[in-house]
Structure formats: structure tokens, C-alpha cells
């Protein structure tokens, strides 16, 4: 039930320090919240999950941006125009997708993806380079049917 070891705070602090950033109290709190929640969380959700006074909302915004640039979290867009974040394990490019319930907003992580062949063909045909994609699924979950 515990998060994987390579996502422990010591390791995460190490990854921050490598980029001359600091593992501060507020950041520890934020990372702990992310470790305890598998689903992508918005800034407001992260802030709400913290103890009152543990970290300012503005600091959550600043931290999430920094953590994203440092490759420690990945940003997802689940269609409601809110930035959401998930912890990334080291070396992971975080490429996966979500299946989101339109009614209750519950989220299932999807490992599968279509073959890169489609992506390559689209890139080639249009002369684009370094092509990636974002893919999210939406539907009605069993509990909401």
C-alpha cells in the first residue's frame, strides 16, 4: 500500500538538489500529498489536502511549476481547463493516459497506448519533428451508471 521506494522524500530531495533547488518544508508536504494520491491533483486540491497553514496557495502554484520543469511531476489536462499533476518516477517520461468519469470525475490510469506508428506517420506527413501526443478517455464509470 506504500508508494514505491524510488519516490520517497530522500530521493525526491536528491532530484531537486541536482538542479540546485531546495527540499523545503512546504515542498515536502506537497510531495507527500502527491505520493498518497495516485490520481492527478489540481493546485487547489493539493492545497486543500494540506494542513491549514502548512503551505500557501501561491507557493503551491510556484512549486508545481518548478516541479514540472524539474521533471518530477507531469501536468495533465483532463478537459475542464484545470492543471493537474501526478508524481513521476525517475527516468519515467510519464507517458500514460486516463479514463475519467463524466459524472463523478473518478480517474483510472490507462497504461495502453496506440502504436507509435500512427504518430510517426502523422509527423512525417506534416513535416513536424519531436511529435508527442496527449490522449484522455471519458465515459461513465460503473458506479455512476
Partner DNA sequence: GTTGCTGCAAATTTTTTGCAGTCGA
Partner DNA sequence: TCGACTGCAAAAAATTTGCAGCAAC
d(CA 113, CA 115): 6
Considering the complex, state which of residue 55 and residue 107 has its C-beta at the smaller distance from DNA.
Answer: 55
Rg (CA), the chain: 17
Q: Is 145 in the site for a second copy (CB under 8 A)?
A: yes
**Strand partners for 101:** 139
Joined grid coordinates for residue 99: 479514463
Q: With beta carbons less than 8 A apart as the criterion, state whether 41 and 85 touch.
A: yes
User: Given candidates 34, 55, 72, 100, which one binds DNA under the rule CB under 7 A?
Assistant: 55
For residue 79, what is the DSSP state? S
Listed residue (63, 57, 88) closest to 73, CA to CA: 88
Q: Is 61 in the site for DNA (CB under 7 A)?
A: yes
CB of 103 to DNA, least distance (A): 18
CB of 9 to DNA, least distance (A): 10
Farthest CA pair distance, the chain: 53
CA 97 to chain centre: 11
Q: Is 99 in the site for DNA (CB under 7 A)?
A: no
CB of 139 to DNA, least distance (A): 22
CB of 8 to DNA, least distance (A): 14
Residue numbers of the site for a second copy (CB under 8 A)?
A: 77, 79, 81-83, 99, 101-102, 108, 110, 112, 114, 118-119, 121-123, 126-142, 145
Residue numbers of the site for DNA (CB under 7 A)?
A: 13, 16-17, 20-27, 42-44, 53-59, 61-63, 65-66, 81-83
Amino acid at each position: 500500500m506504500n508508494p514505491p521506494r524510488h519516490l520517497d522524500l530522500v530521493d525526491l530531495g536528491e532530484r531537486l538538489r541536482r538542479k540546485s533547488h531546495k527540499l523545503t518544508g512546504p515542498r515536502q508536504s506537497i510531495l507527500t500529498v502527491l505520493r498518497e494520491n495516485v490520481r492527478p491533483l489540481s493546485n487547489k486540491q493539493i492545497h486543500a489536502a494540506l494542513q491549514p497553514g502548512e503551505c500557501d496557495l501561491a507557493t503551491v502554484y510556484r512549486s508545481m511549476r518548478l516541479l514540472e520543469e524539474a521533471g518530477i511531476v507531469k501536468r495533465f489536462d483532463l478537459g475542464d481547463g484545470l492543471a493537474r499533476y501526478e508524481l513521476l518516477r525517475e527516468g519515467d517520461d510519464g507517458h500514460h493516459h486516463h479514463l475519467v468519469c463524466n459524472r463523478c470525475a473518478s480517474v483510472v490510469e490507462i497504461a495502453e497506448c496506440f502504436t507509435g506508428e500512427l504518430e510517426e506517420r502523422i509527423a512525417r506527413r506534416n513535416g513536424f519533428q519531436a511529435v508527442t501526443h496527449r490522449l484522455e478517455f471519458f465515459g461513465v464509470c460503473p458506479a455512476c451508471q
